[in-house]
Amino acid sequence: MIPSGDQFLQYLLSGVTLGSIYGMIALGFTLIHNATGIVNFAQGEFVAYGALIVFTCSGVLGLPMPLAILIAVVGVTLVGAALERAAIRPSRRPSVITLIIITIGASIFLRGTAMWIWGPDALPIRHFSGEEPIAIGRASILPQHLWIMGIVLGTMVALWLLGEKTQVGKAMRACAMDREAAQLVGIPASRMVMLSFALSGTLGGIAGAIVAPIAMGQYNMGIMLGLKGFCAAILGGMGNPLGAVLGGLLLGTLESLGAGLSPIGWSGFKDAIAFGIMLIVLLAKPTGLLGRGGR
Amino acid sequence: MKHELARYRWIVIVAAAAAVLPRLLPDRYAIHLAVMIGINTIVALGLNLLMGYAGQVSLGQAAFVGVGAYASAILSANMGISPWFAMAAGVALSALIGAAVGVPLLKLRGHYLAMGTLGFGMIVHIVLVQWESLTGGTIGIMSVPPLKIGGISFDSELKMYYLVAASVIVAMALAANIINSRVGRAMRAVHGSEIAAEMSGVDTARYKLQVFVLSAAMAGYAGSLYAHHTTYVHPDSFGFHYSIYLVVMVVIGGMASIGGAIFGAGAVTLIAEHLRSFEEFSTVAFGFILVAIMVFLPAGLWRGTAEALRRLRRTAPTPGEEA
């Protein structure tokens, strides 16, 4: 099925939008993995909470959207920090399997709590600035797509500034590079670990808040988003922040093109694209596109 | 010698308990639960060998159960093939896929192996859902015929119970045998330190693959039992959630422990059943308890409590002992 130029552009645009979200989630994984070597299975839940808290603040309490987003992002940041404090910090010399189960258990706990608070149904969230499609060539995108791309870009810039220009950011990078050396120069490693979880929460919360109007908020939206974000992190190279973003964009684009270009009846396989790509990467070049030597 | 024979004592205990249990259960539903616990135990025993002894993580074990279940269902319900042959085919297919997938995947370690098996499991689930002409998609496959020997048809909960109980006992004996054999020692060497094992001449790749394939075959067998017992298969029974439950069974019971596998399978099966009626808060509690156990008793409830008690006894001072 050969697409027209417009269709191709359409798939590309939605792919980049989707990919931005995957990139944010992948970045969250990378942050925690760099600081601790842990894969945080609860990352997807951060996204879900971001979306759901926005729903409550904006839809139920009627707060203005910017305030709702702020509350959501701060809230999820706290959830991230709390996760590290409650579940990671107290564990004694955990093995890989133990850590995996801990974060899986945390994700089950968070998901269950989300269902308890918000119920099982998908909840609608207002688009930030209206739903009039914008024409680009003969393709069209929604204003929300622009918000997503813009906010993700802005977050990337902010993160870069954090890492380059602030003391805290530089300390976190030092810790990620070599934890013992960082501790030797006086950086409190355990606090950096908590900060990485908190920052990961921030990223997840932002991702959830901005994708919510399009995806709707639901207690279990984190599962697939988290898994695919992880695939993106592996694709780009686990441990490399730039790789996480590029991996996300690439994965989103491939998924969008794959779903759009596949013959009728095969589009249900689009979810398999992400996992298939991840498997190929893991088996061919586990360090991913931009990754350094593995941890 | 005494320690080795001790493994077999579990089998005697379980066999005796299994023979008596049906009389103590109130209704057919309870017997059905016992059958499900037995089926899960078989998968858990295989996964336990893989995770607890060989130290390899698999977050996609449900896929192998699904392969066995669907092979049985498709062959016996849709193509009229004898259920026993369908089951044999299911086991063989699971083992084959296990080998095919294991060769490349087992080159990975730690988190990467976990995610690789997870990806594999997700893909199998997607195939089960999307390949409608073969699997019936989200409609599933109904009217899977029960197993038959001679004139006896295993079509009631009680009859399936005895078949499954016997299978569990065989699986336990198999696991105990492997653990005590050369293969078992090689596996434990791999778990302890893969590098050291390699240096001592242990062909780690081969042993890891053998355990992986065996666990896949056991899972496939359990899947077939499931299909012929419930007479209905649906893709969502073999997805991410079930894979996680299986890992939780092995870990909560305590890895590298046959008794732990049974305990874990029993506990998680019953909790999952409870979750279905009291959805909301139970999921929260399940996640909370899971985290708590992994944080404070990472060796699992079975082993972990035994170890904790041993530690308490050791710290109590005895006369004449130096502090």
pLDDT digits (tens, 9 = 90+) for B280-318: 677 788 888 889 888 888 777 776 777 777 778 776 655
Q: What is the mean pLDDT of residues B222-236?
A: 94
Q: Find chain B residues with C-beta within 8 A of A109's C-beta.
A: 283-284, 286-288, 290-291
Q: Do B112 and A294 touch (CB under 8 A)?
A: yes
pLDDT over threshold 50, residue A39: yes
Q: What is the mean pLDDT of residues B267-272?
A: 88
Domain boundaries along the sequence of chain A: 8-119+141-284
Q: Find chain A residues with C-beta within 8 A of B114's C-beta.
A: 39, 96, 100
A8-119+141-284 CATH fold: ABC transporter involved in vitamin B12 uptake, BtuC (1.10.3470)
Which of A30, A264, A279, A285 to probe by mutation at the B interface, max B CB count within 10 Å?
Answer: A279
List the single range of A39-53, A154-168, B30-44, B295-309 with lowest mean pLDDT: B295-309
Which of B295, B297, B303 to probe by mutation at the A interface, max A CB count within 10 Å?
Answer: B295
Q: Give residue-wise pLDDT tens across range A121-167.
A: 999 998 888 888 888 877 888 888 999 999 999 998 898 888 888 88
pLDDT-based confidence at residue B323 (cuts at 50, 70, 90): very low
Q: What is the pLDDT of residue A210?
A: 94
Q: What is the pLDDT of residue B229?
A: 93
pLDDT-based confidence at residue B36 (cuts at 50, 70, 90): very high
DSSP assignment of B203-214 equals: -HHHHHHHHHHH
pLDDT-based confidence at residue A97 (cuts at 50, 70, 90): confident
Q: Find chain B residues with C-beta within 8 A of A112's C-beta.
A: 280-287
Q: Find chain A residues with C-beta within 8 A of B291's C-beta.
A: 86-87, 102, 105-106, 109
Q: Which residue has the higher pLDDT, B271 or B186?
A: B271
Q: What is the pLDDT of residue A262?
A: 78
Q: What is the mean pLDDT of residues A25-39?
A: 90
Q: What is the pLDDT of residue A181?
A: 81
Amino acid of residue B129 = V
Closest in B114, B119, B287 to A105, CB measured: B287
Q: Give residue-wise pLDDT tens across range B245-268.
A: 999 899 888 777 788 888 899 999
The pLDDT mean for chain A works out to 88
Q: Do A108 and B116 touch (CB under 8 A)?
A: no
Give me Rg for the CA atoms of chain A.
Answer: 19
The pLDDT mean for chain B works out to 85
Q: Do B116 and A282 touch (CB under 8 A)?
A: yes
Q: What is the pLDDT of residue B257?
A: 78
Closest in B129, B287, B296 to A108, CB measured: B287
Residue from A207, A223, A224 nearest A270 by CA: A224
Helix A167-177 and helix A189-215, axial crossing angle in degrees, nearest 10:
100
Contact B210, B22 (CB under 8 A): no
pLDDT over threshold 50, residue A294: no
Sequence-distant (≥ 6) Cβ neighbours of residue B93 within 8 angstroms? B67, B68, B71, B220
In this structure, the dihedral spanned by the alpha carbons of residues A36, A37, A41 and A47, taken in order and rounded to 10 degrees, is: 60
Q: Find chain B residues with C-beta within 8 A of A110's C-beta.
A: 287
